[in-house]
Chains A and B, each alone.
Chain A
Amino acid sequence: MQTTATEAGTPEAAICARNITRDFEAGQTTIRVLHGIDTEIRSGEMTYVVGESGSGKTTLISIMCGILWPTEGEVKVFGTDIYKLSDTELVKFRLQNIGFIFQQYNLIPSIDVAANAAVPLIAQGMPREEARERAKVLLDKLNIGNQADKLPRQLSGGQQQRVAIARALVHEPRLVVCDEPTAALDASSGRRVMDLLREVAVAPDRACIIVTHDNRIFDLADRIIVLEDGRITHDGKEMPDDH
């Protein structure tokens, strides 16, 4: 990744989504949740996906990061048409290229913070100790280096989410995907987590997509995509006035 958005001046598409639709079977009927989404996500930016509950935000980013098959359409992530990969190739692709942050942190309760943050590296085959050391550097950056040997449940929600951030970034993925990262946190720790995330996650050669309801953190976005009933109704630097 020599050519980056900022250096080149022309933003490069990290994700290129073409005509994405997604249907869900609900009993006898089929519900179309996404209606032909066309968009590109650029590296070097923090892109927010916002919208009412049920508008299809989670569905959209799940498809963009290779964990949910679209009914129709094509998703290229860094040039790779991910749904043309085999199952095992796709799993490997995610492990190499994508970092995940979940609403409920989803840390492994029985292993300590450093080990949790090191999971992607260990899964990639790095020796445990080396992986832990790498994870600790990142935990330090996130101001929880002194918690490295604790179990997740001994940490506050905000601290746990910072561990999750470390886990999402430790293997230096080119794409970071977060679904409602602050939903389980109170306002001030949510804000602090997002400030930190912006600080450590945003890089010229990395794209960052965040799904959120939380309008207190909209100011951190480089770009905001608004979804309504499975269609993009706004795409810009600021929120539209009617929201």
Chain B
Amino acid sequence: MLTGDAQKFYGLLFGIGFSTLLITQQMTIFVNLVERGASGVYNAPEAEVWVMDPVSRTTDVSYAMPGTALDRVRSVPGVEWAVPHLRAQANVRTKDGDLEGVAVIGVDDATLIGMPQRMATGDKSVLYAPDSVVIDDVGTTRLFSNGASAIGERLELNDQRAVIRGIADSIPSFTSTVVLYTRYSSALNFVPGTRNRLSFVLVGVSDGQTAQEVAARIEAETGLKAETREEFSQAGVDFIIENTGIPTNFGITVFLGFVVGIAIVGLTFSLFLRDNIKQFGALKAIGVTNAKIVQMVGAQAGMVGTIGYALGVIGTVAFIKGFSANPFFKGFYIPWQIPLISLLAVVIILAITGLIAIRSVLKTEPASVFR
């Protein structure tokens, strides 16, 4: 019946598609954005346990430890290896004379543990060259917006000379800050400062040990804080959730998507049923039961809902794909739970609006058809 009324059919399709798109797309961006709070952990895939000062909270909010911490960690049973990891802020002056805040990450001199898994350009070993830094790929677009190659470019890093010799393929941080990887020893030069400049100790655990056990042992024996990969990435996510307005903002948008869906769909549904009230009355007079009518309307709503939902999800996928070249959206994916949640939202929208709208049909007296 609905399909006979093109205007309302498309109205419903639009309402549901729009809601689905808004809900799915906003939740996807939210989840991906919030997960960036854990990018520091994801970008150092070899580390199974992160050891830090007890007050440190995330990869970006940390308090330095004395250098002796490294040896204390190494002596804990179950620690296969432990390497120093430095994370600090610095300023670079670009060739154009602009000033840009960057994150400097010092990785282990010998093993280069602490680097992202993959390189976009060059090899990790370029870091062994003097003054060498590797920039992250999103950082390149930020520092070299004109599309020029970053390789071989010189930077003034806190008044020290640095040369970019490689580009890492890494997950951008929440703030999309430019990241420069360098060896721990040269990082100490780039980032002058206090005596303590050991932000983290990255630990690999021995065979037969779990990260949990080793982390607990490190905490017990050193008094430092030790978290597994999973714990520490969760801490990064939680930090973003607790300290930014993001959950509220996205929550409001998702809620609005839901409300707009209810409004458009509800209105169109009611109009449609009202326009056809005589026809429904005729069906009831003829002897079609209320149950059959509900079934009929339900089937139609289900069909419109399915198409609208599919369009909304396809729209979200197209959106994410369309923007995948944009550094802001790098690595964005749609967790499977999100389409399920928006499906639930669509079902609720249709159920609420459908029930309200169909009440008028069910209440219609068959006798009204002769009037």
Contacts and interface: CB of A to CB of B under 8 A. Distances in A.
Contacts of A110: 1-5
Interface string B125-151: 000000000000000000000000000
A94 B4 CA distance: 27
Interface string B49-70: 0000000000000000000000
Interface string A84-114: 0000100111111010101110111111000
Contacts of B369: 67, 100, 102, 106
A151 interface: yes
A147 interface: no
The main secondary structure of chain B at its interface with chain A is helix
B289 A88 contact: yes
Given A94-B286, A95-B287, A100-B285, A62 B367 contact: yes
B370 A62 contact: yes
For chain B, which range describes its interface: under 10, 10 to 19, 20 to 34, or 35 or more residues?
Answer: 20 to 34
A138 to B, nearest CB: 15
Nearest to B282: A106
From B281, B289, B367, residue with most partner A Cβ within 10 Å:
B367
Contacts of B2: 110
Contacts of A102: 278, 282, 369-370
A111 B282 contact: no
Interface residues of A, number: 30
Most buried by B among A88, A109, A111: A109
B292 interface: yes
Nearest to A110: B4
A68 interface: yes
A123 B367 contact: no
B279 A107 contact: yes
Contacts of B159: none
Nearest to B290: A91
Interface string A59-73: 001100101100000
A109 B279 contact: yes
Nearest to B300: A110
A123 B286 CA distance: 9
Contact of B285 (A93, A94, A107, A151): A94
B278 A106 contact: yes
Contacts of A98: 286-287
Contact of B370 (A96, A109, A111, A179): A179
Contacts of A16: none
Nearest to B283: A119
B271 interface: no
Contacts of B281: 106
A107 B283 CA distance: 9
A58 interface: yes
B366 A111 contact: no
A120 interface: yes
B365 interface: yes
A126 B54 CA distance: 76
Contact of B278 (A67, A93, A104): A104
Contacts of B5: 109-110
A111 B1 CA distance: 7
A103 B281 CA distance: 13
A98 B366 CA distance: 13
Contacts of A151: 4
A56 to B, nearest CB: 12
Interface string B1-14: 11111000000000
Given A67-B367, A88-B289, A95-B286, 15 more contacts: A58-B370, A58-B371, A67-B365, A94-B285, A96-B287, A98-B287, A100-B286, A104-B278, A106-B281, A106-B282, A119-B283, A119-B288, A120-B286, A120-B287, A123-B283
17 contacts: A67-B369, A68-B365, A91-B287, A102-B282, A102-B369, A103-B370, A104-B278, A106-B369, A109-B1, A109-B4, A110-B1, A110-B4, A111-B1, A123-B283, A123-B286, A123-B287, A123-B292
Complex A-B, nearest 4 residue pairs according to Cβ-Cβ distance, in ascending order = A110-B4, A95-B287, A106-B282, A94-B287
